[in-house]
Structure 1
């Protein structure tokens, strides 16, 4: 896998759009409720020549262990759909942020019981939330149990109102 920066987006052909749809439909290995498209890590799909495709993928953070599984899953789905030569390259710039998660992805996280990150609306540093809404009962009376949960991108919290534990996808 090659590491690089994203090139300026070019118009995609109908075949590239279909291949992007296929690659984007791959579930995230750590959060299978989300697709790679909803997570916002798929940066581009380019048909280099007949049967040869390059997919650009940005990890959620530089050391993300799920990137290898994402790569293998993208290669598999494109091989199954007739593309024999698939190259997945890591694109580190621009860096991924939680703002890249789609509205549908945020909805699915909440529905799955994970408090989604809040969108970052202004330039500059990401503001730290003073409260996190419980995805079970909606209360903002929650407490941090651990800065890290099942993955480094989530924190473990508990709702004081309903006493249910839940993951919070941290803002980046």
Structure 2
């Protein structure tokens, strides 16, 4: 499935947000949680970051239909956020009945300086040591996948 320009823009802003300033976070897009060989329902986090022993899970949503879809939100971190377009957030604020996802996650929207701003804080669920180990293993595996893609592309460029 091809990503929309809005999705790519939010991904770029999210990367800038998590990798700016002193002591930036480690992060990876499309992190598959656990090994899903025995489970047909894979749980994929749009972006997972790690900084100072906290995992932050980000789900990128650009339409109301996407936000309300039956696909589960992967809110697995110590802090969980929905990354929304400004237009979608404005539409949600006017709604009388808010989408269910807002009960479980904070909200981030684009800011003028090419990053994001938090407009609704995330709760802080308790993530066990075992779950943190699973998240770390999943993130490392996904980072390796991305490195392999980059390495393969570089090899083909040299040929």
TM-score (norm: length of structure 2): 0.28
Which structure has more RCO (C-alpha within 8 Å, separation ≥ 6)? 2
Q: Which has the higher helix share?
A: 2
TM-score (norm: length of structure 1): 0.27
